[in-house]
Amino acid sequence: MGHGRKKKRTHAVPSQEEMEKIPKTLVVKSGGVGRSVGALVSDVRHVMEPNTASKLKERKSNKIKDYIAVSSQLGLTHLMLFSQTETGTNLRIGRIPRGPTLYFRVNKYSLAKDCLKLQRTPHVSDAEYKTSPLIILNNFAGEDKGKELKLMTAMLQNMFPAINPSAMHLSDARRVVLFNYNEATGMVDFRHFTIVVKPVGVTKGVKRVIMAKNLPSLAGYDDISEYVLREAFASESDVEDGPENSVTLPQDYVGRGNTKNEQRAIRLLELGPRMELRLMKIEGGLCEGDILYHNYLHKTKTQLEKEARMRQIKLTRQARRRQEQEQNVERKKKVKSRKVDTAKNEKTSDDDRGDDDDEYGSMSGADSDVAPSDNSDAESEARSVLPKPTRTRASADDFGADEYKESDDEDDGAPDGEMNDEDDYAEEERKPAKRSKI
């Protein structure tokens, strides 16, 4: 039974400290931009991989403060903000969270798909975007250069991770980002390339055999020498791959036959996009603050001092207003808490009063339930003991109606015309009762 392939390479995972040192750039667009500028933003994100958010979906309503709010959680260090106005396309590159900010005008640009269409055999590979690109700054140094170029140089360098040539792996160097400063026009050219190594000292046909994964078809040739001699003419690439452009590989590189100590020629193939930038101004903060440099406006020392005083007054007013708002918030919180406590106390007293009422009502209800039951039992027993009365019909003779008039005068005991007490009582009994007024 065969054994599995033994893994010889080690994939070292960077530590937390190393990850924090790696700069991360957020590439976004601000406001409404056209479709071509949106595609340019996607291409620039592709350039800044893997240390950027490639699939970020921002909204038109997003502000700079929204990106600053999430920068600490995501470990963002730089912000590239594209915008479009009636005059043209603009690019702002700022250091998060306190600046400075470089303002560029994008005079010209070409998308990545346009750059690949110009090539006969475009080189496209997703494996190249797994590592950060190398940065090359051309024509930025010099004593006669202004302070704005020094600041621009430091800003562009810090956007990409630093490298240690003695410790890095050669296979990690797959792409190159070039910034070239043109002194005649004052423009900064932006280019993006991939690194390709090719054999040196062989013809074009032999290069195809060496570098290709599959052997070329020789069906149209009688002998392999015809294939080699047919491609023996020097092409433009063969002329460029001279001794001055060849290097000895110190480590194994990506590709077939690119082993250590082999002679190889270094070639750059453009991936895109392209941009032609002009520096407009530099601000001290993140899209705000003092204007450190302006390409068109030049102010005197007096004007600068006046602007500094006005800015200080504005900051003082903002701090005072912020303090007042905090005090108002605290006061409202106290009032709200006091109202909540009062409402809780009232609710507690109402609950206690309701419990007393319920207790009293239950006691009275119990008495009322018991009393009627006892009375009803006693009444039922009395009815059962007493005899039932019989009803008889009486006539007038039973009451002595014939002797009533004779005995009336004899038994009356009072003079004529006067009534005794018994007669008064009987008379009152015969009178109808008066209705009381309510």
Tens of each residue's pLDDT in the chain, 438 residues: 455 565 555 555 667 777 778 999 999 999 888 899 999 999 999 999 999 988 888 888 888 889 988 888 888 999 999 999 999 999 999 999 888 999 999 999 999 999 999 888 888 888 889 999 999 999 998 777 888 999 999 999 999 999 888 888 888 899 999 999 999 999 999 999 999 888 776 666 666 666 656 666 777 777 777 666 665 444 444 445 556 667 888 888 887 778 888 888 888 899 989 999 999 999 999 998 888 899 888 878 888 788 888 988 988 999 999 999 999 999 999 999 988 888 888 878 776 666 655 555 555 554 444 444 445 555 555 555 455 555 555 544 444 445 444 444 444 444 454 455 555 555 555 555 555 454
Q: Quick one: which of 274, 273, 293 has its CA closest to 282? A: 293
Which helix (H) or strand (E) is 53 found in, with range? none
Q: Quick one: which of 243, 246, 239 has its CA closest to 262? A: 246
Confidence at residue 143, expressed as pLDDT on a 0 to 100 scale:
74
Q: Are 104 and 275 in contact (CB under 8 A)?
A: no
Q: Are 44 and 273 in contact (CB under 8 A)?
A: yes
One-letter amino acid at 246 equals S
Confidence at residue 290, expressed as pLDDT on a 0 to 100 scale:
83
Most distant pair of Cα atoms in the chain: their distance: 181
The full length of the chain comes to 438
Q: CB within 8 A of 169, min separation 6: which ones?
A: 251
**Residue written as token pair 């406001």:** 31
Q: Quick one: which of 173, 171, 198, 194 has its CA closest to 254? A: 171
Confidence at residue 15, expressed as pLDDT on a 0 to 100 scale:
72
Query: CA-to-CA distance for 99 and 282, rounded, in angstroms?
Result: 10
Q: Are 30 and 57 in contact (CB under 8 A)?
A: no
Query: CA-to-CA distance for 46 and 133, rounded, in angstroms?
Result: 11
Confidence at residue 407, expressed as pLDDT on a 0 to 100 scale:
47
Distances from the Cα of 249 to the Cα of 80, 262, 360, angstroms: 36, 6, 101
User: Which residues, listed in sequence order, are joined to residue 102 by a DSSP beta bridge?
Assistant: 93, 282
Pairing label, strands 291-294, 274-283: antiparallel
Query: 3-class SS at 365?
Result: helix
Distances from the Cα of 393 to the Cα of 15, 396, 399, angstroms: 124, 10, 12
